[in-house]
Amino acid sequence: MSLPGKTARRFAWKIIDGSRLVFLSFPRNVQCNICGWKGRHFTSDTWHYQVNCPGCGSGIRQRLFFAALQNIEGLSFDRLIHGRNILHFAPEDIVSSNIRKKAAHYVTADYFRQDCDLKLDMSDMPSVKNESFNIAIAFDVLEHVPDYQKALDEIRRILSPEGVAIFTVPQKDSLPVTYEDPAIITPEDRTKHFGQYDHLRIFGDDFSEIVERKGFSVTAVNESDFTRDIRSKHVLFPPRLSKHPLATNYRKVFFCRKKT
Ligand SMILES: [Zn+2]
């Protein structure tokens, strides 16, 4: 294609993108409780219909987390974030930027990424002292960790007494028991069985019990913990259930308090 042709095509896409944003902006039916974006509806991805914020990219799990901080007294910003020492694994920018400024000490960690404060294997963290953090956050991380049971032990070790781990995990709808199989190793097979090429398992309804067995008291927050108005305004539940067999339609945020 000639250069003028490419330029014209780029210009046309810009107009289409701009028109789409204007179309999405009115009427203001929904509002992101993280970045404040308001509009007609959120955007869809390949599995889920109208669940992602066009402003910040947040999905239901991040907005559920913020809804808890904003609306549930025992899990508020004041109780969980203000003045706390926080370790955040695989941090999402939009979550990070809202938490960093309120925490006393905020540290990010990842096993692969270079843009975090620490390079950590969640299942083996000898460089992190016992009881050195009040809060550990890991959204959709445990399905990537080979020995996630050991990771739960490590998280418990580095949390202060009464410290809180905050997790989300992909959970297949109506799957009673977490499914993993070490014989499933190719990216294609992992996608087929666990939903993504680098997932090592898909969690089931037993996730709370698994974490409780590790010495935590678990509170699972979902859309039913909020008023209908908050639920629909911030889209804390999919407007339309995904038909994908491995979809997580019923998202939960697990607040896991270390038992002493
Ligand atoms: Zn947003």
Average pLDDT over residues 190-196: 94
Can you say whether the dihedral through the CA atoms of 158, 257, 84, 118 is positive or negative? positive
Q: Give the distance (Å) from ligand 1 centre to CA of residue 169.
A: 20
Predicted local distance difference test score (pLDDT) of residue 27: 84
Q: Give the distance (Å) from ligand 1 centre to CA of residue 230.
A: 15
Q: Give the distance (Å) from ligand 1 centre to CA of residue 67.
A: 13
Query: What size, in residues, is the chain?
Result: 260
Model-level pTM? 0.91
Report all structural domains of the chain as residue ranges with CATH numbers, in order of start: 59-226+239-258 (3.40.50.150)
Mean pLDDT of the chain: 93
Quote the CA–CA distance of 75 and 52 in Å, as a whole number.
24
Q: Give the distance (Å) from ligand 1 centre to CA of residue 2.
A: 38
Q: Output 26 or 201, whichever has higher pLDDT.
A: 201
pLDDT digits (tens, 9 = 90+) for 110-166: 999 999 999 999 999 999 999 999 999 999 999 999 999 999 999 999 999 999 999
Whose tokens are 């620490």? That residue is 118
Q: Give the distance (Å) from ligand 1 centre to CA of residue 42.
A: 9
Q: Give the distance (Å) from ligand 1 centre to CA of residue 38.
A: 8
pLDDT of 3 above 60: no
**Do residues 49 and 63 make contact, with C-beta atoms less than 8 angstroms apart?**
no
